[in-house]
Amino acid sequence: MTDKRTIHPVILCGGSGTRLWPLSRQSYPKQFARLTGERSLFQATVRRFSGPDFAPPTVLTGEPFRFIVTEQTAAEECAPLGILIEPEARNTAPAVLAAALWLEKTAPGALMLVAPSDHVIADDDTFRATVMAAAERAAAGDLVLFGIAPDRPETGYGYLELAEGASITDGHPQSLARFVEKPDVAGAEAMIAAGNCLWNAGLFLFSAEAIIDAFKAHAPQLLTATQAAVDGAESDLGFTRLAAEPWATLDDISIDYAIMEKADRLVAMPYLGGWSDLGGWQAVWRETGPDASGTVCHGEATAIDCTDSLLRSEAPGLELVGIGLDDIVAVAMPDAVLVARKSEAQRVKDAVATLKSKGSAQATQSQRDHRPWGWFESLVIGTRFQVKRIVVNPGAALSLQSHVHRSEHWIVVEGTAKVTIDETVKLVGENQSVYIPLGAVHRMENPGKVPMVLIEVQTGSYFGEDDIIRYEDVYARTSRD
């Protein structure tokens, strides 16, 4: 049996939120971005839940993000216990249940710490101590919900109302009276004044056995299909792919609705430190430290006589200047710019929906296209040519492929490329170039220990990423590169 006090982090990493567009997009959502520091939110979560009391994490993610997960965990020198691939998004209840069933097979008796991958927690040491203070109750069979001591009447969160005699400042698990859905302003003010409510953080601690039993009691309709998805899972390049057919039959439902609002043996664990789910640009403004005028500048941004505003440039070489602004969010990306009143920034999801309806690629696609070997971005697109910057990670290789509609020129600007063209293999160094004729079978590899950067000039009649005939691929892909 696994040590009952060893915590198994279960990191939910499949979201594709739009509330932080244009930085966060469906192809590269906010958990992988560096929003508040040198690490992505996902990497900060991995680091937070590491150490002698924690097992390697189990990560649940989607197909498009699997290689981003491995790249970012490797950067943290972390080898996950498992990376479970959800065939499609089904919300948190099926994800948590799948992790519990998988852990019961791989680490019987495990305590699961379920955590979103996109939260900011100010003091990792204090939060780890809070988790360990709740471990005994979780090991005894309770379902522990972590609540945040509120500092304002926030209407964007649900609340945990504690039972009579419980305290939101106590450093031990507290009895829970009820869940409160996201309130209006008056309701939030009343709960703050009452002093017995916590924000529901969406973080949980329980044993795999206890949460499985809760599903048996309160959501048995999810159990059979999820068990079939876990039992039918296949191993693929270190990933565990949950079986798609049973997974597709599952309800799209959160763990709160499926279990927590119905279950017995619930306890709330107060956390008194700083926390944010970064649920919108106003939260980012708050967490990134407004100056005396209430203004935050990030990147190549300059504010002149601005108040209560966020100016953020995410495009190197693009200077964002604000003059006389008040209550404004301005976020500049290489391919899209958001300007909104800070008080209206939560409506960014409406903008994304509008962009989708008009067929705009910027609605969902990041300018950088991340792949298992690195990333690329389009710099210039013409009617008969396209220019890309391509970055290949050390030791990585693109697939052996050919194209029907385009030829390519590669110019290495950093590092060394090992290039295969039909039967010829050669090294191409900095300031050297090579030509790939239309139809030639070719591959690019980085044999070095630093990222290799090249400029690719494509010429031809079509430049879509589906113009790839793949012959061999170390990442076992079958379609887009």
Chain segment 281-335, per-residue pLDDT in tens: 999 999 998 999 999 999 999 999 999 999 999 988 999 999 999 999 999 999 9
Half-sphere exposure of 132 (CA within 13 A, CB side): 13
What beta strand segments (E) does 163-221 contain?
174-180, 197-207
7-276 and 368-472 share one fold: no
Q: What mean pLDDT do residues 73-81 have?
A: 93
What digits encode the pLDDT tens for the residues 194-224? Answer: 999 999 999 999 999 999 999 999 999 999 9
Query: Is the pLDDT assigned to residue 398 strictly greater than 50?
Result: yes
Residue 323 DSSP label: E
pLDDT in tens, 263-277: 999 999 999 889 999
pLDDT for residue 196: 92
Q: Which residues contact 360 (CB under 8 A, 6 or more apart)?
A: none
Q: Which fold has domain 368-472?
A: Jelly Rolls (2.60.120)
- In which band, very low, low, confident or very high, does the pLDDT at 3 lie, cut at 50, 70 and 90? very low
Task: Indicate the fold that domain 7-276 takes in CATH.
Answer: Spore Coat Polysaccharide Biosynthesis Protein SpsA; Chain A (3.90.550)
pLDDT band for position 2 (cuts 50, 70, 90) = very low
Reduced to 3 states, what is the DSSP secondary structure of residue 256? helix
Contact 174, 270 (CB under 8 A): yes
**Res. 234: pLDDT tops 90:** yes
Task: Give 269's contacts (C-beta < 8 A, 6+ positions apart).
Answer: 130, 133, 134, 144, 145, 146, 147, 172, 173, 174, 205
Is the per-residue pLDDT at 151 higher than 50? yes
Q: Where are the domains of the chain?
A: 7-276, 281-357, 368-472
Indicate left, alpha or beta for 203 from its phi (over 0: left) and psi (-120 to 50: alpha).
Answer: beta
Can you read off the two tokens belonging to residue 465?
Answer: 């990423």
Residue 101 CA to residue 209 CA, distance in Å, equals: 9
Residue 481 confidence (pLDDT): 42
Using CB atoms within 10 Å of the CB of residue 383, give its burial: 0 to 12 exposed, 13 to 18 middle, 19+ buried: exposed
